[in-house]
Structure 1
Amino acid sequence: MCLDDGRVVSNFVAQAIRKLPMTVYGDGKQTRSFQYVSDLVDGLVALMDGEHIGPFNLGNPGEFTMLELSEVVKETIDPSATIEFRPNTADDPHMRKPDISKAKELLNWEPKISLREGLPLMVGDFRQRILNEDEGKGA
């Protein structure tokens, strides 16, 4: 995952590690679903090994508001991390939640790693990359 790719998880993690405020757009009540990469890989393998064809949602149906995500990031990285609210864009969907019932039924697949389990796994990598980035700048 890229440090500054514009996605909310990587943004919050990088901001918290850098001791910057986490940027929440709007009121932070919009929801998103987050998935650890190994769950997606397992789903893709199940799809490729299976006999079923067609579209499948291989996401994680567990929803978090942006404020809940920021709290998990704070708990994981820095309890003193702060939030900066900015105006939301007009086209930002209020909710994103995949329906994985077809994948559960036909592929016997569902995600296993929760946000609280997966987030710490990426934080160490992000810390190292940010440290290397800062050393390269002479910090």
Structure 2
Amino acid sequence: MSIQEFLNKYSDLSKTNAVVYMEDADGNIFHSIDEAHKKGKHPFVTKNLKDSAIADLNDLGLSSKSEASKLMGIIQFIYGVDAKADMTATRGRRTYSSEEKASILANWKQAEAEGKTKADFSKDTGVTYQTLFKWIKES
């Protein structure tokens, strides 16, 4: 299974409270016992969707909560994703006036003198790392 297949398979997992499902002998999935008996083929197995997702993550090489946490941290850093934010909401492009830019760069020079990293400064100010890097390069 690829990461994309995993995402497709489990994309609705966080949107439902129903994590238990029935699987028939042919591997068809049913979300109720009645549906399974009407449309499925015996025998039926009751499965937990979270357990199935964990097994699929193990197959992808992610075998512990610690590894998952590290991966989430890396993804959040790379893409600037906030795990608590609504994933459907998109942030619009932010523009800065010349005065704002000058003020942020002045604050950066002070923060740099204090030993702060560009990444930490970006997080604190809300300016993306890429934008800050570009401004520093241009100044």
Q: If the length of structure 1 is used for normalisation, what is the TM-score?
A: 0.28
Higher relative contact order (CA 8 A, sep 6+): 1
Larger radius of gyration between Structure 1 and Structure 2 = 2
More helix by share: 2
Q: If the length of structure 2 is used for normalisation, what is the TM-score?
A: 0.28
